[in-house]
């Protein structure tokens, strides 16, 4: 346990995880709490958000669970209002909502393209839309958007809707960071590479003959010889949310074991 985020309030969208596993959002919520933040864990699945809160409560942290569709402006406005009513402020906004839809431009259904754009990109726009006015009023705040290595590199998977939406998240992060820097608000993105989370077993494994083949292939694809974990992403998020990163904004930080700089 630390105190890097003591007296901070963290609003985490996508704070649940599949089953009892550790997704990026769940790990980030718990990591924030371990550093002293009071956490609002938001997920479209309230039971998943409750599980994250239960972990935080078991470690004597402060957390409340809320449910919201991050593509629904009204849902987000309600969660932001409830957070301000409960805690009086929002210091950290963490956007972890995302979905992959397999299929190239010909095969992919238009409705799946639209869903990927809405979930991966529009959600980030909407949460910032509702949180930024409060941060401007406070003249401070840190926003962490979880993007993907797929936003800057071809990672071998046929999901251009995911890659395009994450590339847009990167650019949205940069432009909003510049627009709001004068208000003491920092906006950064984390680009996870090949991370071993429950999502890959539900949304990626269909591209392989077996689970074992997927795990082996992804481990070999990383220069470090292994996939990362949700905690690698969470630790980066804690740093970017903390005062240690007070002069860092507009950054798109790969957390990928070196994959982004490898040429082959």
Of the pLDDT bands very low, low, confident and very high (cuts 50, 70, 90), residue 111 is very high
Average pLDDT over residues 59-63: 97
Max Cα-Cα span within the chain: 53
**Tens digit of each residue's pLDDT (9 = 90 or more) over 201-251:** 887 778 888 988 988 888 998 999 999 999 999 999 999 999 999 999 999
Residue 9 has pLDDT above 70, yes or no: yes
Of the pLDDT bands very low, low, confident and very high (cuts 50, 70, 90), residue 58 is very high
Average pLDDT over residues 62-74: 98
Q: How many angstroms separate the CA atoms of 156 and 163, rounded?
A: 11
Give which of 20, 37, 257, 33 is closest to 149, Cα–Cα: 257
Average pLDDT over residues 81-106: 95
Q: What are residue 37's phi and psi, to 5 degrees? A: -75, 150
In 139-182, where does DSSP find H-type helix?
160-180
Q: How many angstroms separate the CA atoms of 116 and 113, rounded?
A: 5
DSSP string, 74-102: HHHHHHHHHHHHHHS---EEEE-------
Q: How many angstroms separate the CA atoms of 54 and 231, rounded?
A: 18
Share of the chain above pLDDT 90, in %: 81
Share of the chain above pLDDT 70, in %: 99
Q: Where are the domains of the chain?
A: 9-195+230-254
Return the minimum-mean-pLDDT range out of 122-126, 222-226, 250-254. 222-226
Q: Is 183 a catalytic residue?
A: no
* 262 vs 60, more confident: 60
Average pLDDT over residues 257-262: 91
Average per-residue pLDDT for the chain: 95
Cα dist from 48 to 74, 159, 182, whole Å: 21, 26, 37
Residue 197 has pLDDT above 90, yes or no: no
Residue 169 CA, chain-centre distance (Å), reads: 11
**Tens digit of each residue's pLDDT (9 = 90 or more) over 17-35:** 877 789 999 999 999 999 9
Residues 6+ away with beta carbon under 8 Å from 238: 4, 5, 28, 31, 32, 35
Q: Which of 162, 180, 183, 208 is catalytic?
A: 162
CATH of domain 9-195+230-254: 3.40.50.720
Q: How many angstroms separate the CA atoms of 195 and 190, rounded?
A: 12
- Report pLDDT for 264: 58
DSSP string, 216-234: HHHHHHSTTSS-B-HHHHH
Q: 16 near 23, Cβ under 8 Å? A: yes
Dihedral through CA 111, CA 117, CA 119, CA 125, nearest 10? -140
Q: What is the DSSP letter of 139?
A: T
Q: What are residue 9's phi and psi, to 5 degrees? A: -115, 125
Of the pLDDT bands very low, low, confident and very high (cuts 50, 70, 90), residue 161 is very high
């Amino acid at each position: 346990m630390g105190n890097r985020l003591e007296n901070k309030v963290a609003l985490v969208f996508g704070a649940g995880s599949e089953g009892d596993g550790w997704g990026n959002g769940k790990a980030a919520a718990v990591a924030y709490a371990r550093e002293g933040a009071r956490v609002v864990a938001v997920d479209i699945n309230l039971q998943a958000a409750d599980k994250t809160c239960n972990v935080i409560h078991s470690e004597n942290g402060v957390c409340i669970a809320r449910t919201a569709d991050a593509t629904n402006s009204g849902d987000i406005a309600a969660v932001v209002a409830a957070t301000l009513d409960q805690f009086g402020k929002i210091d950290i906004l963490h956007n972890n909502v995302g979905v992959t839809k397999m299929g190239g431009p010909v095969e992919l259904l238009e409705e799946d393209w639209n869903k990927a754009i809405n979930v991966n990109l529009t959600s980030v726009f909407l949460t910032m839309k509702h949180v930024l006015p409060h941060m401007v009023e406070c003249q401070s705040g840190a926003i962490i958007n979880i993007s993907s290595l797929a936003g800057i590199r071809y990672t071998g998977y046929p999901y251009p809707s995911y890659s395009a939406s994450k590339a847009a998240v990167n650019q949205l992060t940069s432009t909003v960071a510049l627009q709001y820097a004068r208000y003491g608000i920092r906006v950064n993105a984390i680009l996870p590479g090949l991370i071993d989370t429950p999502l890959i077993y539900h949304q990626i494994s269909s591209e392989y003959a077996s689970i074992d083949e997927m795990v082996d292939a992804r481990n070999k694809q990383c220069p470090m010889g292994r996939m990362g974990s949700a905690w690698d992403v969470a630790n980066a998020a804690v740093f970017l949310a903390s005062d240690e990163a007070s002069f860092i904004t507009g950054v798109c930080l790969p957390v990928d074991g070196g994959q982004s700089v490898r040429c082959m």
